[in-house]
């Protein structure tokens, strides 16, 4: 069983705190969490959890335009992904609803 499977099963991670902090720094520098997670061979969920734990909060007053732009792009990608998921779920609900005769289950 690999680390990813262990994390999914609720077991404690084998990654050191320093590794997690380095992963967070890399994700913050790139502005792309999903790509960073793929490069490191870890799940997006793990990396987002680490960011919450170890990441630097983005201070709008002192953040550079580049940092803010990267964050906006990241949030736009997440929004687009969520909107796509919502559309798929709406279509699935429509298909299931059509398949039920007279609205009964």
Q: Enumerate long-range contacts of 14-20, CB under 8 Å, 24 or more apart.
A: 15/42, 17/54, 20/50, 20/53, 20/54
Per-residue pLDDT at 67 exceeds 60: yes
Whether 39 and 88 map to the same domain: the answer is no
pLDDT tier, 2 (very low <50, low <70, confident <90, very high otherwise): very low
Helix (H, G, I), strand (E, B) or coil at 43: coil
- Ranges of H-type helices in the chain: 3-8, 17-30, 33-40, 44-54, 65-99
Among residues 39, 56, 73, the one where a domain terminates is 56
pLDDT tier, 5 (very low <50, low <70, confident <90, very high otherwise): very low
Whether 34 and 66 map to the same domain: the answer is no
- Residue 41 sits in which domain range? 1-56
As given in the structure block, the two tokens for residue 13 are 């991670």
Mean pLDDT to the nearest integer, 69-80 = 87
What rounded mean pLDDT belongs to the chain? 82
Whether 23 and 47 map to the same domain: the answer is yes
d(CA 28, CA 44): 13
**Number of domains observed in the structure of the chain:** 2
Convert the pLDDT of each residue in 86-98 to its tens digit. Answer: 999 999 999 999 9
């Amino acid at each position: 069983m690999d680390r990813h499977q262990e994390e999914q099963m609720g077991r404690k991670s084998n990654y050191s705190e320093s590794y997690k902090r380095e992963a967070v720094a890399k994700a913050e520098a790139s502005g792309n969490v999903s790509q960073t997670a793929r490069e490191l061979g870890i799940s997006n969920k793990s990396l987002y959890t680490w960011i919450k734990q170890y990441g630097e909060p983005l201070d709008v007053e002192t953040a550079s335009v580049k940092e803010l732009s990267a964050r906006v792009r990241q949030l736009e990608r997440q929004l687009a992904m969520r909107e796509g998921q919502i559309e798929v779920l709406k279509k699935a609900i429509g298909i299931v609803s059509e398949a039920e005769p007279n609205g009964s289950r």
